[in-house]
Amino acid sequence: MGKGKAFIFTAPSGSGKTTIVKHLLEVNPNLGFSISASTRDKRGRSEENGKDYYFLSKEEFRQKIEEDAFVEWEEVYTGNYYGTLKQEVQNIWDEGKHVVFDVEVKGAQNLKRYFGDDALAIFVKVPSMEILKERLTGRGTESAESLSQRFYRAEFEMTFENKFDVTLVNENLDESFKKAEELVNDFLKK
Q: How confident is the model at residue 75 (pLDDT cuts 50, 70, 90)?
A: confident
Per-residue pLDDT at 128: 86
pTM here is 0.88
Integer Cα distance of 167 and 162 in angstroms: 8
Listed residue (167, 161, 163, 164) closest to 180, CA to CA: 167
Question: Above pLDDT 90, what percent of the chain?
Answer: 65
Answer yes or no: is pLDDT of 3 > 90.
Answer: no
Q: Which amino acid is at 148?
A: S
Of 79 and 95, the structure prediction assigns the larger pLDDT to 95
Contact 111, 101 (CB under 8 A): yes
41-46 average pLDDT score: 79
State the pLDDT at residue 2.
56
pLDDT digits (tens, 9 = 90+) for 175-187: 999 999 999 999 9
3-state DSSP helix/strand/coil % of the chain, to nearest 5: 45, 20, 30
Amino acid at 47: E
pLDDT beyond 60 at 96: yes
